[in-house]
Amino acid sequence: MGSAAEIVVLVASGVILVLAIVMVTAVRSLRRDVGRLEAVVGELTRRAMPLVTDAQRVVDQAATEMERVGSVLGSTEAVAHTVEGATKLAYRAFANPVVKLLAVRAGAAGGLRSLRYGEGAASQPAGRTVTPSPGAGRPRKR
């Protein structure tokens, strides 16, 4: 048998040999797994790129539609302001003449009543007669 130092060197060499075999096996396993992962990443990339391209196209279309909606909304607001202004202008233009026309009509109706039924009839409410018309209440002849 050899000395204790030789036995330690032999044991250490055996342990290192076993560790080297384990390391080589682990490296081979890791290489195989890395190869599989690269294949999976390549497949994912191949499948995902068209999806990303489609998503980008949809986002671009949505942005374009949002711009259109914004311009339509702006146009609608402008039309609403124009209509509001026109409504106010029409109210100002027609309110006073309409009131005057109604006043003239009321005055003319009172004047006609006064001419038709006498002086005191103008102060009577419209629709009431001061004197009954001739032949009121008599049956008609056929």
Whether 134 is in a domain gets the answer: no
Residue 15: left if φ>0, alpha if ψ -120 to 50, beta else—which one?
A: alpha
Contact in structure between 113 and 124 (CB atoms under 8 Å) = yes
Supply the DSSP symbol for 118.
-
Domain extent for 26: 4-122
Whether 76 is in a domain gets the answer: yes
Whether 131 is in a domain gets the answer: no
- pLDDT truncated to tens, each residue of the chain (142 aa)? 569 889 999 999 999 999 999 999 999 999 999 999 999 999 999 999 999 999 999 999 999 999 999 899 888 988 888 988 888 888 887 777 777 888 888 888 888 888 888 765 555 555 554 455 555 555 555 4
Whether 128 is in a domain gets the answer: no
Q: Would the pTM of this model clear 0.75, i.e. be above it?
A: no
Token digits for 112? Answer: 């006609």
**Number of domains observed in the structure of the chain:** 1
